[in-house]
């Protein structure tokens, strides 16, 4: 199937983009990626033989660059971000300029007929009420700079209209631009290489989603845009609202000699604790395909390949 739609993706060589871009090309979309290749990743090399791919080495904050490339786009997906609380705390000015200001700029430059699909994080929910599911109507109370910058950007995207916002659960799984610092990826790596994890605040819960399902959700949103537009959707696995302890128990089923222990003292800098309802996106017809169990199995296999820490954001 040949699509006429032209997709502009900032940060398209990142963890999610490296899965999404090949999937879009396979479906016949034309894709322009703007990325500064901050991590010296070569994740899109496999796609360079595709005439429908354009790669621009540049900064998503460069107004003239964005202006030049945005005018031909039918769909804009701003993925460029400093992702995660520790990285944003380390580089607070960059976090604000990339995660928030650059997205606000794109929202102000896009025409009303152009579509935008924006990935926020559901860490914006901060600390939820005990045993109460966070829905899209729950108040956003981010407790990290990362959560705050993404939440401010979401507001600008929604205000600009003709947009869809995903609030992503914690993403896991293997990507050509791998990240070891995401919770599931990190814990499986430790289970495979160190055989143990010390847990802080082991009962803190969050939701999870596989990186390929995130890419599928973006494509689903492009193809069902009119039915979904101007709405916000939580995007996660409904059977994976798990505490850190429960996550470790899932990993232990596949890594038998994995040992985890709870620390009596100390705390996790990332304090989020919530469970999330994904009913709205499921009602819109999208269902994730990759379970947490399958993702853990895939990661174990991936870590037979990867044995170094160049794949973290921090």
Structure confidence by residue, pLDDT tens digits, 107-137: 999 999 999 999 999 988 988 788 889 999 9
What pLDDT is attached to residue 312? 57
**Is 76 within a domain?**
yes
Q: Is residue 261 part of a domain?
A: no
In a domain, 250, yes or no: no
Domain-located, residue 253: no
Q: For strands 133-134 and 275-276, give the pairing.
A: parallel
Residue 108 in any domain: the answer is yes
Question: What's the pLDDT at 3?
Answer: 62
Give dist(CA 79, CA 81) in Å, integer: 6
> Which residues, other chains included, contact 255 with Cβ-Cβ below 8 Å and sequence gap of 6+?
188, 191, 192, 195, 300
Strand partners, 14: none
pLDDT in tens, 138-176: 999 898 999 999 999 999 999 999 999 999 999 999 999
Percentage of the chain lying above the pLDDT 70 cut = 96
Binning pLDDT at 50, 70 and 90, where does residue 39 land?
Answer: confident
Q: Which domain holds residue 189?
A: 6-196+202-240+270-302
> CA 252, 255, 258, 263 torsion: positive or negative?
negative
Q: Looking at the domain assignment, is residue 1 inside a domain?
A: no
22 in any annotated domain: yes
The Cα–Cα gap between 210 and 255 comes to: 20
- Average model confidence (pLDDT) for the chain? 93
Q: Is the pTM of this model over 0.85?
A: yes
CA distance 208 to 275: 10
| b (16+ CB within 10 A) / e for 5-37 | bbbbbbbbbbbbbbbbbbebbeeebbbbbbbbe
Task: Find residue 210's DSSP bridge partners.
Answer: 172
Domain count, the chain: 1
Q: How confident is the model at residue 314 (pLDDT cuts 50, 70, 90)?
A: low
In sequence order, which residues have a C-beta less than 8 Å from that of residue 226 and are 6 or more positions away? Answer: none
Q: What tens digit of pLDDT does each residue of 171-211 get?
A: 999 999 999 999 999 999 999 999 999 998 899 999 999 99
pLDDT band of residue 67 (cuts 50, 70, 90) is very high
Inside any domain, residue 209: yes
β-partners of residue 77 are 9
Where residue 170 sits, what CATH number does that domain have?
3.40.50.720
Specify the pLDDT at position 266. Answer: 73
């Amino acid at each position: 199937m040949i699509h006429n739609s032209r997709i502009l993706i900032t940060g398209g060589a990142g963890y999610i983009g490296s899965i999404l871009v090949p999937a879009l090309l396979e479906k016949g979309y034309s894709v322009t990626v703007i990325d500064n290749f901050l991590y010296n990743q070569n994740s899109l090399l496999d796609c360079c033989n595709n005439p429908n791919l354009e790669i621009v080495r540049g900064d998503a904050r460069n107004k003239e660059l964005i202006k030049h490339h945005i005018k031909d786009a039918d769909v804009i997906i701003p993925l460029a971000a400093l992702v995660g609380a520790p990285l944003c705390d380390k580089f607070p000015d960059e976090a604000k300029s990339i995660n928030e200001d650059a997205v606000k700029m794109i929202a102000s430059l896009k025409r009303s007929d152009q579509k935008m699909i924006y990935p926020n994080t559901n860490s914006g929910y901060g600390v939820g009420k005990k045993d109460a599911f966070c829905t899209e109507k729950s108040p956003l109370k981010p407790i990290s700079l990362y959560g705050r910058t993404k939440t401010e950007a979401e507001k600008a995207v929604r205000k600009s209209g003709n947009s869809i916002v995903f609030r992503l659960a914690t993403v896991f799984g293997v990507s050509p631009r791998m990240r070891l610092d995401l919770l599931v990826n990190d814990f499986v790596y430790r289970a495979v290489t160190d055989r143990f994890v010390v847990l802080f605040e082991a009962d803190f819960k969050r939701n999870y989603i596989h990186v390929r399902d995130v890419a599928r959700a973006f494509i689903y949103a492009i193809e069902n845009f009119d039915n979904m537009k101007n709405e916000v959707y939580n995007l996660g696995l409904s059977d994976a609202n798990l505490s850190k302890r429960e996550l470790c128990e899932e990993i232990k089923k596949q890594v038998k000699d994995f040992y985890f222990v709870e620390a009596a003292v100390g705390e996790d800098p990332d304090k989020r604790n919530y469970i999330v309802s994904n009913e709205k996106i499921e009602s819109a017809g999208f269902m994730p395909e990759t379970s947490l169990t399958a993702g853990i199995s895939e990661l174990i296999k991936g870590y037979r390949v990867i044995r170094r820490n160049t794949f973290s954001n921090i």
